[in-house]
Amino acid sequence: MSSLRALCVLLLLLATIPSAHAGKVKLWHQYQQSHYDKAQFKNAVVTSEGVLRLSREVKPLAGIAASNIWDLAEDKAGNLYAATGDEGKLYKITPAGKATVVHTSKDGHLFSLIAAGDAVYAGTGPTGKLLKITADGITTVVENLDSYIWSLAYDASTQNLYSGTGPKGKIYRITPDGKSSVFYTTKQEHILCLAVGDKGTVYAGTDKGGLIYRIDPAGKGFVLYHANQPEVRSLLATPSAVYAGTSAPVARKGGFGSTGGKFDGPVGPTPGENSLYRIAPDGAVRELYRDKTMILRVGQTQGKLLLATGMQGQLFEINEATREKTEIARLDVGQIHCLLIRRDGSIVLGTGDPGKLFVLSDRFASEGTAVSDVLDAKMQSKWGTLTWNQTAGTGVGVTVAIRSGNVADPDDTWSAWSGEQKSPGQTKAPLGRYAQYRVTLKSDDAKVSPEARQFALRYQTLNQAPEITSLDVPDFDTKDIDNPKKLKIKWNTTDPNDDELTYNIYCKKDGWTDWVLLEENYDKNTFDWDTTSFPTGVYHIKISASDRKDNSAEDALTAERISSPIAVTHLPPSVTLRVVGFTNGTAIIEASASDPYVRLTEASFAVDGKRWVNVFPTDGLFDSKSEAFRFTTDALRPGAHVIVLRVRNAAGTFGSADAVLTTPMAKQ
């Protein structure tokens, strides 16, 4: 099926989803590399653009009993040498594939190897011995250097050998006659990698400060670049540039930076991210690659860069011309420590955890699979269409199977894999909370790989009722209401299916039999209730939440919640007032006020229609539905006066009482 046709099928299938269920049907969409961080691959890889394809064919080379293969070298006769740890053995593998141990070191590790002239040299740790292995298999100790010989490099033009050591950050030079001397001393702890460029220039990558040195043949050093990461683990010197890879340890693999595999900066790497830097002859630095994986070795073949990495045994290819970054192989190991491009053009990979040797072919594997991460739908779900976009052809195909279960880790309680789907369509997996799909890629042509991308699984969770988690109504007893005639009702809801909810709002007065509908199919969670047209009394509010908008009438569910009591009153408070005496021309007043429904909030009096004067209850607080008052007026002239006391309740209604009094004439 062509990619255009597949895309049309995808669009057609998506269009068949009923629009009324748009908010209910969910989508699991996997379309970029980071979506496959937890996927399981066998002879398959994912590119920086999120495309699944077959990996390059990788074949075991020779059986070696080692935990790690730290380095590789090839002599003039085509024999392969492998430096190992934790056993400290040096293996020789003949062109016929026969492996033998040619040396066992008292050190636990042979960290570095180099073919130089007619011999092979190896560096050990933790006692720092430099070993020479001749063509006839005789091994001698050339020199005892520092504790660890991490790296070796050979300058064919001068026949000088260079060794990078630790923990004192020194580089030694060993001349053709076997004499060694300190060539350069850095202020770093370890020289993790070395490379020799044009005119005998030596390049060194360090641990501690992430420095890359350029050292001329006279031993004059210059810091070429200060990386953002503390470890520069791999170097490759070419006529056009120097490439440096970093290896800050990380716990998991991530994606190709923030731009989907075409990262160019300038934002610096975050902790745990590693980079491949290209340093031009003029000193210009460009970041070619960034990922949460350790770059352990860099090589170049047919104009493309190869990156051997850990923590998931991945081999990447970078095309500088197109800026494409592609995973080409993923081995069932922890790290690819080293790679060697042999004289015949074949590529050998040395791994760790466990230590194995592999040959990378330029052919694709005939069949591979990618098993996705597990989707957690959070609840029982129906699985709908599974769609994808693919490029295939005669003898090249893509099929997809799906399974489901109710535990997070697939086990024998999960369903069996469904039949292989050759084209996008309806899945055949039973109800379940979890789902997982498997992509199978096949090709009869070793030069061609099928491609698959844009996987989209539609599913529908079984409907569950919404919940009204809170319902708040104004409480006149606890606070003053800004607008007591328009009461603000508030509520909060949750829905397990994330359905869109609508609400019916009801009220009922104490003594009524039925609820009165205030608002129907309301879509907000606050409501201003205008009480001016409702009779005085004590009410309750009921909210009914429905998920009908995202479900059929048969499947829709509701939830209800009834509020605490809320008073509605248009009646004024009852007020009484009487004059109990005079003193020095002022009247002494006693009064009381009460309301059957709500708290009293304020009171004031006026004499003869003049200004209003605030008065307070005898206990000093407006805190109940009944209050008593005692207050005095200002000095009054002799004669008749009218006094009015008004009292306000929390519902905003005023009640009043008045009295006429006569101020007696002052005694002569």
Q: Mind listing the domains of the chain with CATH numbers? A: 3-44+370-461 (2.60.120), 71-332 (2.120.10.80), 467-568 (2.60.40.10), 574-663 (2.60.40.10)
Q: Which residues make Cβ contacts (< 8 Å) with residue 344, sequence separation at least 6?
A: 78
Supply the pLDDT for residue 20. 35
What's the whole-model pTM score? 0.66
The HSE-up count of residue 528 (CA atoms within 13 Å, CB side) is 8
Amino acid at 125: G
Both tokens assigned to 341: 């491009």
Supply the pLDDT for residue 15. 38
Which backbone phi and psi does 14 adopt, to 5 degrees? -65, -35
Residues 591, 575: contact at Cβ < 8 Å? yes
Q: In what order do the strands lie in the sheet with 190-196?
A: 190-196, 202-207, 211-215, 221-226
Supply the pLDDT for residue 250. 56
Which backbone phi and psi does 245 adopt, to 5 degrees? -115, 140
Q: Which residues of the chain have pLDDT under 50?
A: 1-23, 251-266
Q: Where are the beta strands (DSSP E) in 10-133?
A: 25-30, 40-42, 44-46, 52-54, 56-60, 66-74, 80-85, 89-93, 99-104, 109-116, 119-125, 129-133
- Tell me the pLDDT tens digit for each residue of 310-329: 888 999 999 888 878 889 99
Instruction: List own/partner pairs for 14-17 with CB under 8 A and 24 or more apart.
Output: 14/385, 14/387, 14/456, 14/458, 16/385, 17/384, 17/385, 17/458
If phi > 0 it is left, if psi is from -120 to 50 it is alpha, else beta; for residue 210 that is: left
Q: Which residues make Cβ contacts (< 8 Å) with residue 48, sequence separation at least 6?
A: 33, 255, 256, 260, 261, 262, 324, 325, 326, 327
Supply the pLDDT for residue 251. 43
For the chain, give the number of residues: 668
CA distances from 143 to 71, 112, 122, 128, 667 (A): 20, 15, 11, 8, 130
Three-state SS annotation for 381-426? EEEEEEEEEEECECCEEEEEEEEEECCCCCCCCCCCCCCCECCCEE
Supply the pLDDT for residue 667. 64
Supply the pLDDT for residue 47. 87
| Cα angle: 330, vertex 333, 336; to 5 degrees | 75
Integer Cα distance of 81 and 63 in angstroms: 13
Supply the pLDDT for residue 262. 36
Both tokens assigned to 509: 């007065």
Integer Cα distance of 588 and 633 in angstroms: 7
Residues 550, 23: contact at Cβ < 8 Å? yes
Residues 360, 336: contact at Cβ < 8 Å? no
Which backbone phi and psi does 10 adopt, to 5 degrees? -60, -50
